[in-house]
Amino acid sequence: MSLPLPGYQQWLLLFIGAAAVLLAANLLQWVVRRDRIYLLYSLYVFLWITSFGLETLTLADHVVAFGRTVPFYLFSVIYLELALEFIDLGDKPRLVRWYRVVQWACFVFTLPEIYFNLFSDLWRTGWHETQLNMIRYIVLATTNLTILYTFVRHLRRTDILARFFFAGTVALWTGEILSTVSLHMHLDKGIEALDALPLIIHPGFLMQVGIFLDLALVSLGISYRQRRQAMRQVMAEQELIREREQHLRRQLEADLILEQLKQQHTEAQMKALQSQVNPHFLFNALNTLSSLIDETPSQAIDYVDELSSVYRYLLRAGDGELTTLGQEMGFIQSYFHLLRTRYGNSVHTDLLAMDTHREALLPPLTLQLLVENAVKHNVVLPDQPLTIRIRTTAERQLVIENNIQRRKVRVESNGVGLSNIAFKYQLLNQASPHIEEVDGWFRVTLPLLQPL
């Protein structure tokens, strides 16, 4: 066997050394990352090193023949597997199955070659050379056409990773073509003439340049793939962080709104209690009770009963957001009894609530706030009686009205009564009370809520 020229031999050693560096780097990446693409690429590089490295060693002819035949089929198996790693064919199951068929066929072809080269002398025969060349061309054409078909029909324009692999494949094809052309042009002159060729047109050099470009481009593609995966992981982590922040923000906003509603509800209850159970009202009620005890003890007992009913309802009213109109009407009758005890016939009441609306709902203490508001801002005298009407309409509206006879002395007011009622209806997502003055009457119209 003739040795290659020193120029080619030096290049061959350089090629093997560069390939060994790539092999070591990718094996290290595989150990660190445990990503199978690094292992596949390492096996691919190792096969090229084995195939050309045998030329630098003094080995038996059948071992050299083995190194020139068997790795060829394994190249196709691993290269197709690398193609599946570089190209996303998850939505092309039939094409993936074809890849597997070609891979198994290439693997099966290695079995007789192992026997021919290592355990017999058939590799020396012309028959073996003929069938070997035929099978090589079939495997080479099938592998290359499969990859070419995949890239032409299924390559996405935005798939940069697949373009790296395709560029490497084109470099490999170019090296194979140029090497084959050079080999056939100079083979008829003999092996000695082939070895005497300049390095730049030597078949081995042309083939190895294509291989080296293929290895470099595939390596760049793997690096790009790793960087893209790292970016996707970072983006996924950032998106997860953003989702967690948004969820936390929404949760905090919901908690804040809930706390605000609770605070507003508490403040509304406190203001309502301060408006109903205020020191002025309590002072007048106790004074009235004191007078009744001295003058009419029997009436004082009734007054205490009504007063206890009023305050019992006031204290319980904060337990719920809604109460029935029937309960409010029962309470307001006790409240009117206290007013009549204090003002006598100076307060007239007219209760015209329909029985069909007794189960309708409204915020508790609504009637008491409006009645107290009427008494507070109007003159209440025997010759100027105050008339308070409470009625319902067929449209499920509650109307509370009183004749207007405003006090000449300005009464200090902080507007708690009406604003408190409006705020409660707002919390219930209901229409605000309608307030108007019509023909000498001050009228407040409230919507009644449907029972649950």
The rounded distance, in Å, linking the Cα atoms of 375 and 368 is 11
Give the burial class of 290: count Cβ atoms within 10 A of its Cβ; 0-12 exposed, 13-18 middle, 19 or more buried: exposed
Confirm if 82 and 42 have CB atoms less than 8 A apart: no
pLDDT at 452: 64
pLDDT at 273: 45
Q: Which of 339, 357, 365, 443 is nearest to 395 (CA)?
A: 357
Residues of the chain with pLDDT under 70: 1-6, 55, 154-158, 186-195, 263, 265-284, 317-320, 409-417, 452
In whole angstroms, what separates CA 2 from the centre of its chain? 67
pLDDT at 290: 78
pLDDT at 373: 85
The rounded distance, in Å, linking the Cα atoms of 38 and 34 is 8
> What letter does residue 23 receive in the DSSP assignment?
H
Sorted by where each starts, the structural domains of the chain and their CATH numbers stand as: 6-244 (1.20.1070), 277-447 (3.30.565.10)
pLDDT at 400: 94
pLDDT in tens, 284-298: 677 777 777 877 777
The rounded distance, in Å, linking the Cα atoms of 360 and 324 is 6
pLDDT at 88: 75
Confirm if 135 and 111 have CB atoms less than 8 A apart: no
Give the burial class of 89: count Cβ atoms within 10 A of its Cβ; 0-12 exposed, 13-18 middle, 19 or more buried: middle
pLDDT at 148: 81
Our CA angle for 115, 116, 118, nearest 5°, is 65
pLDDT at 388: 94
On the CB side of 367, how many CA atoms lie within 13 Å of its CA? 32
Hey, CA dihedral for 203, 205, 210, 214, is it positive or negative?
positive
| pTM, full prediction | 0.50
pLDDT at 188: 64
The rounded distance, in Å, linking the Cα atoms of 56 and 44 is 19
Give the burial class of 320: count Cβ atoms within 10 A of its Cβ; 0-12 exposed, 13-18 middle, 19 or more buried: exposed
pLDDT at 398: 93
